Amino acid sequence: MKNSLLVLLATALATQAAAQDYPTRPVRVVIPFAAGGVSDLILRTFSEPLSKTLGQSIVSDNRGGAGGTLAAEHVARSAPDGYTLMLGNGGNLAIAPSLYQALPYDPQRDFAPVAMVTRAQLVLVVHPVLPVSSVKDLVQLAKSKPGQLTYASSGVGAGPHLAAEMLKSFTGLNVVHVPYKGSAPMLASLMGGEVDMAFDAISTSLPHIRSGRLKGLAISGDVRSSLMPDLPTVMESGVPKFNYASFFALVAPAGTPSSITGRLSREIVRICETADVRKRLENLGLNPVPLAAAELDALLRKERTFWAGLIKSAQIKVE
């Protein structure tokens, strides 16, 4: 018993010393998607100033697949030493437990929250010939033709799908889901007139809205987009409870010393509150909302509860 206590004490002291010296080598941030996506752009906005503050490089590691769950499993099983982090999102940190029957990790048990960086709102877009100019018009048209209008998504369980299901839940719409394998074919189908509407990332739909190939109706979150300030939110358009905005947040493997996660949390929130970083995120069509670890933890719990209920009621299943 005495030897066991000595071993535990020695381990605790070694961990504390390592945390005080942290970091002594580059910090790896796993991105749960293929290179070139919005997660890469988000990391770039704060990795350089964070690297200067920590005195070490921030290295990105793209590990796409299975809706971000493969990367999450990898990070959950990594050493809890502060040298492996993940820039996760609402999908693999809050929604996945309700979508997948056998998730190889537990988001609440296997990760230590570090900080939230930003929220990503979507824009509700329709084909230009659809005779609507507002969410109210769309709801009225859909209710006059139950089961006849269609909405596209970038895949079952993806953000555009869940946002549309939320809208259906709050308005009682009866519209048909047409899933695609990614945002590009989804938009191509919508612009080609094969489907009637979709939720999409602001950054990818904006050029098509400006060119007239798509018609923007509303922003999915609780604030207007600085890129389209004249476009109202869905909430402003008569659906007061509707607020869809995924989030991007840094987490570490569970067991990472609080001195490390606390320092990272403080620095990331400070950096993301600077005017330069906020502007860069807004230019990507994102809504900067930096949250410290405790606030992120509370948000994650709330999000998991909400999506568990909606996914169950909508009977959404990922094969």
Q: Is residue 249 a contact partner of residue 88, using CB atoms and an 8 Å limit?
A: yes
Q: What is the pLDDT of residue 65?
A: 82
**For domain 121-219, is the CATH number 2.60.40.10?**
no
pLDDT at 41 (0 to 100): 92
Q: What local confidence, expressed as pLDDT, does residue 11 receive?
A: 45
For the chain, the structural domain boundaries read 2-120+245-314, 121-219
| Top CATH class, 2-120+245-314 | alpha beta
Query: What is the pLDDT, as a whole number, of residue 34?
Result: 82
pLDDT score recorded for residue 319: 67
pTM for the complete prediction?
0.86
Secondary structure, 3-state, the chain: CHHHHHHHHHHHHHHHHHHHHCCCCCEEEEECCCCCCHHHHHHHHHHHHHHHHHCCCEEEEECCCHHHHHHHHHHHCCCCCCCEEEEEEHHHHHHHHHHCCCCCCCHHHHEEEEEEEEEEEEEEEECCCCCCCCHHHHHHHHHHCCCCCEEEECCCCCHHHHHHHHHHHHHCCCCEEEECCCHHHHHHHHHCCCCCEEEEEHHHHHHHHHHCCCEEEEECCCCCCCCCCCCCECCCCCCCCCCCEEEEEEEEECCCCHHHHHHHHHHHHHHHCCHHHHHHHHHCCCEEEEECHHHHHHHHHHHHHHHHHHHHHHCCCCC
Mean pLDDT of the chain: 91
CATH fold match for the domains 2-120+245-314 and 121-219:
yes
Mean pLDDT per block of 10 residues along the chain (319 residues) reads: 47 53 97 87 95 97 87 97 96 92 92 97 97 97 96 91 95 94 92 97 94 97 93 96 94 98 97 96 92 97 94 85
Task: Output the pLDDT for position 101.
Answer: 83
Alpha-carbon gap, residue 66 to 58, rounded angstroms: 25
From first CA to last CA, the distance across the chain in angstroms is 49
Any idea of the CA torsion for 96, 97, 98, 99, to the nearest 10 degrees? 40
